[in-house]
Structure 1
């Protein structure tokens, strides 16, 4: 049985006080045995979070990375730097990176490879816009984004990915894909993975991202092909995020 991963994405939010609040809460609770938990925090808080969460179930992740290993790239952060300060995972291809910062499939692939080169787990984000969904192109878009990465990786590299399906129309809008809608896309993703390898499809964690909150997490996580959540706004509220993690058991 696949473990579940609940990953919080703070985006450009957070503080040292919030890091400490999460440390205190998660150091004092027991989570379901098959649940893993991570927080993707802004770069300035990575080191503090890695230190604070050392004796808690929380893993630390970053929100993006450069595809370069180092050099004259002012403002960029490499995979080696992330690993050096204790990050274990990194988001790649989040819809905001694709839409706001122009990261296309080639840029996403380069960042996936950079993460793998530094033993970071890439959480590869896939998702369609409302316009694409209404045009009936959901699977074509999502599976196209998946193939753009998986076709360029060897089997071992593919097995080190985590996937996150995030319908763009449900991110930060208050709208959420119904459990049936989310499950349908997750099943299509898993069927696509099976074309590479049945073992890959069976073992891959595929998270749902898109306004997951305490009130709807249980129903979403009960779907057979949903293996956790990529949580946005609710990950900034300690009690709400904890409730999602506990509902995943």
Structure 2
């Protein structure tokens, strides 16, 4: 399985996706600083404390990379079915189930890893700059950081499963737009902020969506022999 994953990553040049993920990190950082800048211009407190800042960063990161995962699914799976290139892959003496499982494992591992790394990178840069220029009327404590770590880990795991839900919509008619649009809708519903509250804050919702995503992946792998190409 690991060799198959390695071959798939090499085939699709996933190193370029790492560069894109890094670029996305700086876009998120730009949004964070823009929020602070606009609030200062308007004489308001945009981000009241570091707890809110860490929460907003985590929300941004998960939203961006759930959509990012949909583009990976579209590239690795949906696109291959749409343009019939999957037929060639199925001609090799490799189990269809193992091949699709390897592709989905890449999506999940990439999503989980990039969410963790992005949270660490963005949070570090943001907090250093904010502290140096006194942008937030608060002091970042080690206690807050330690409390935030389990939350980031749980959210990353849930997002990795949730990111597989667009597979269902994409596989219905082998539609790349449907794959990406469904991920945007999922992010819009779970991450929309109402009075500093999102559906993702209700722990059962992201867990349930993650289970649904993993179930969709399982069914896709189990029924792969029956799917026409």
Q: Same fold (TM over 0.5)?
A: no
Q: 1 or 2, which has the higher strand percentage?
A: 1
Question: What TM-score do the two structures reach when normalised by structure 1?
Answer: 0.28
- Larger % of helix: which? 2
Larger radius of gyration: 2
Could you tell me the TM-score, scaled by structure 2's length?
Answer: 0.30
